[in-house]
């Protein structure tokens, strides 16, 4: 898709020229400024000339450059703050062990900052470097007993003991699995391995499971004694290796290009010499070829980092506005607010943050340059698609969308893609400190799902105003309305009528859809909850949050009239976006304000 000069130039500008402003070179043979200025240098450095060449290169591009050569205990926080990292592959002095640099890339991938790395090396086996790095970043290579079970595991062990299992898959097969899973398996080799397995009694769906176990076994044999790649959850890694061209990998928040060091005059002819290192990074970014969404998100990140949004907006320049917003913050503090207990202030701070972010969101959403960039990228993609002919059928349009998304061997199903879309459009992760309108939660005891249907202003963590007598009396108990969400058994059926707006789509342990109104009456089922601590949520580990609330339950004995209040733990599982939360409030409001009409149905 869209390999036009305009599209590639936009990728280079967004991910390199606008995004990369500072450089850190990590190499044990490069002297630092401190080393050069010291009257008594503690050692000799073998690559002063190369360090000077790189320094001049980045100065020509107005990029401040620093050097780190103490690699025994690398400070990951310092390194990740540099936009571009030039990393020596062999960081341990006098050793060919690459574990230090690979560990550093792995840690950079796990940070929240997007890191661009040039792996700069004298090693000539670039294919080996690329393969080693790919398999380590992918990680999660487990033992066969984690993939197989029961009789199939017993069969595996028997065949292993007798040496009857097929030989290890080829490197290309293993690497295809690492980047694309089973969908990426080379067809010819997959057929041959399947034939060999059928010859030893493995049949049907068990074949693919055993092939996967063979891949894991092959990788584990490479990393004996190295725990990191053999543990943890598998990570998504994409990449490309071209013998005569670019060599790159992208995993989570790290993009790595592999470049070779050259000696003497050879560097004049080599595409990765110091004078062209940035051009080679451009080549790797162009080969990565991020899709339209990735480019736009990167450009939004550039705007947030490069533009003075906090002082450029008219509202944020006005001292009167500063004083007014500060008064708004102080006025929203609840009675128990205590400067010695910052957790009692988070509700009011959350409201202020929401107001500021909303202003910035409108600023970014209306930015003309961002809109022009998106329009240009889309125009280039549509030219490649031959638009509008693909609009003639929905299957053709979905196939075009997959092509534009550049899923690289992974071909998501229509159901998975439409669930991801509707889930994104309707819900988001819960990141607040307290329950608010549209918060989705479930009972830890019964597994029932609910969505908060009280207005957001009623859910602010503060003392209710005096005229709200009932709520003021109950404070810090917070009464709130909630609408029952009804799990759909048939996800496909729910997706087929998603446009009707009657469902909430939430990614839980599985893809889940919930009906907002109960069948067959098509009415909301609502209930009043009494949340403790003004519906404040508390972390319970692994990113999960919960709150405690009382609800009316049937009485256990005749001594109680109607029912009794009983406290329960509720886990927050998601948050409806504002317009969808408003839909919940509207549905319940219409139900509560319904007018009883005296129509009578005809008997059946």
State the Cα angle at 269 between 50 and 87, rounded to 5°: 35
One CATH from 3.90.550.10, 2.60.40.10, 3.30.1490.20, 3.40.50.2300 for 5-139+235-290: 3.40.50.2300
CA 492 to chain centroid: 25
Give the tens place of pLDDT for each residue, 329-368.
888 787 777 888 887 787 788 888 888 888 888 888 888 9
Q: Does residue 126 sit in helix, strand or coil?
A: helix
Distance CA 28, CA 104 (A): 14
Q: Write down the pLDDT at residue 468.
A: 80
Phi, psi angle pair for 31, to nearest 5°: -80, 145
Q: Write out the two tokens for 179.
A: 């980047």
The helix (run of H) or strand (run of E) holding residue 234 is: none
- Summarize the confidence of residues 212-238 as an average pLDDT: 91
Residues 209, 48: Cα–Cα separation, whole Å:
53
Spatial contact of 535 and 480, defined as CB atoms under 8 Å apart: yes
pTM: predicted TM-score of the whole model, two decimal places: 0.81
Q: Where are the domains of the chain?
A: 5-139+235-290, 144-222, 298-413, 423-592
427-437, pLDDT tens digit by residue? 999 988 889 99
pLDDT value for 375: 93
DSSP letter (8 states) at residue 14? I
Least confident of 82-86, 331-335, 477-481, 588-592: 331-335
| pLDDT for residue 159 is more than 50 | yes
Q: What angle do CA 544, 550, 554 make, to 5 degrees?
A: 125
CB hemisphere CA count around 582 (13 angstroms): 3
Q: What is the pLDDT, as a whole number, of residue 265?
A: 47
User: In this predicted structure, what is the pLDDT of residue 269?
Assistant: 44
Q: What is the Cα–Cα distance from 536 to 548, expressed in whole angstroms? A: 9
pLDDT per residue as tens digits for the range 7-66? 999 999 999 989 998 999 888 888 888 888 887 777 778 888 888 888 888 888 888 999
Distance CA 281, CA 259 (A): 9
The rounded radius of gyration (Å) of the Cα atoms in the chain is 30
Confidence of residue 471 (pLDDT cuts 50, 70, 90): confident
- The residue with greater pLDDT, 459 or 600, is 459
- State the residue for tokens 């393969």: 131
Report cis status (omega within 30 of 0) of the bond before 458: no
Tell me the average pLDDT across 386-412.
Answer: 81
> pLDDT, tens digit, for every residue of 552-564?
887 776 666 667 7
Q: Where are the beta strands (DSSP E) in 296-447?
A: 427-428, 439-443
- Indicate if the pLDDT at residue 263 is higher than 70: no
| Distance in angstroms between the alpha carbons of the first and the last residue of the chain | 60
Residue 470, pLDDT above cutoff 60: yes
pLDDT digits (tens, 9 = 90+) for 523-552: 899 999 999 988 989 888 877 899 999 998
Strand pairing report for 545-554 and 23-26: unpaired
Distance in angstroms (rounded) separating the CA atoms of residues 527 and 266: 77
The pLDDT value given to residue 485: 94
pLDDT at 126 over 60: yes
């Amino acid at each position: 898709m869209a390999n036009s000069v305009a599209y590639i130039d936009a990728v280079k500008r967004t991910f390199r020229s606008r995004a990369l402003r500072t450089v850190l070179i990590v190499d044990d043979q490069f002297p630092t400024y401190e080393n050069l200025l010291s009257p008594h240098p503690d050692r000799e450095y073998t690559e002063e000339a190369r360090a000077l060449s790189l320094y001049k290169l980045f100065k020509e591009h107005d990029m401040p450059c620093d050097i780190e050569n103490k690699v025994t205990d690398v400070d990951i926080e310092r390194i990740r703050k540099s936009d571009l990292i030039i990393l020596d592959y062999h960081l341990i002095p006098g050793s060919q062990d690459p574990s230090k640099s690979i560990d550093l890339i792995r840690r950079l991938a796990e940070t929240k900052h997007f890191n661009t790395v040039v792996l700069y090396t004298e090693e000539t086996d670039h294919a080996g470097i690329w393969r080693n790095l790919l398999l380590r970043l992918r990680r999660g290579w487990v033992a066969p007993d984690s993939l197989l079970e029961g009789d199939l595991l017993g069969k595996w062990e028997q065949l292993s003991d007798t040496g009857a299992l097929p030989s290890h898959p080829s490197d290309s097969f293993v690497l295809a699995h690492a980047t694309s899973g089973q969908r990426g398996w080379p067809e010819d080799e997959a057929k041959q391995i399947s034939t060999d397995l059928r010859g030893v009694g493995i049949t049907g769906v068990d074949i693919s499971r055993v092939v996967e176990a063979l891949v894991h076994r092959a990788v584990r044999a490479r990393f004996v004694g190295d725990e990191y790649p053999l543990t943890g959850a598998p990570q998504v890694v994409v990449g490309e290796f071209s013998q005569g061209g670019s060599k790159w990998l992208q995993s989570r928040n790290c993009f790595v290009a592999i470049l070779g060091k050259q000696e003497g005059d050879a560097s004049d002819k080599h595409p990765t010499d110091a004078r062209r290192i940035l051009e080679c990074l451009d080549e790797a970014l162009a080969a990565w070829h991020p899709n339209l969404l990735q480019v736009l998100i990167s450009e939004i990140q550039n705007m947030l980092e490069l533009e003075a949004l906090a002082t450029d907006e008219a509202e944020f320049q006005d001292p009167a506005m500063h004083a007014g917003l500060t008064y708004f913050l102080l006025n929203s503090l609840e009675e128990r607010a205590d400067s010695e207990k910052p957790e009692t202030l988070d509700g009011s701070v959350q409201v202020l943050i929401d107001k500021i972010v909303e202003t910035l969101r409108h600023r970014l959403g209306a930015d003309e340059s961002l809109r022009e960039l998106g329009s240009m990228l889309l125009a280039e993609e549509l030219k490649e698609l031959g638009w509008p002919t693909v609009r003639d059928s929905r299957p053709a349009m979905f196939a075009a969308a997959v092509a534009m998304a550049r899923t690289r061997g992974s071909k998501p199903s229509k159901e998975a893609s439409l669930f991801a879309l509707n889930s994104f459009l309707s819900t988001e992760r819960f990141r607040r400190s307290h329950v608010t309108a549209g918060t989705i939660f479930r009972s830890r005891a019964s597994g029932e799902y609910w969505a908060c249907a009280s207005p957001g202003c009623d859910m602010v963590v503060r003392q209710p105003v005096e005229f709200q007598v009932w709520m003021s009396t109950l404070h810090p108990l917070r009464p709130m309305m909630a609408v029952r969400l009804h799990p759909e058994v048939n996800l496909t059926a729910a997706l087929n009528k998603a446009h009707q707006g009657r469902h909430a789509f939430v990614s839980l342990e599985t893809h889940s859809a919930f009906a907002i109104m109960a069948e067959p009456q098509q009415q909301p089922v609502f209930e009043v909850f009494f949340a403790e601590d003004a519906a404040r949520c508390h972390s319970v580990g692994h990113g999960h949050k919960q709150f405690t609330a009382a609800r009316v339950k049937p009485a256990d004995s005749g001594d109680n009239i109607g029912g009794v209040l009983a406290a329960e733990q509720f886990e927050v599982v998601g948050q409806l976006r504002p317009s969808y939360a408003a839909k919940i409030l509207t549905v319940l409001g219409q139900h509560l304000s319904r007018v009883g009409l005296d129509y009578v149905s005809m008997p059946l």
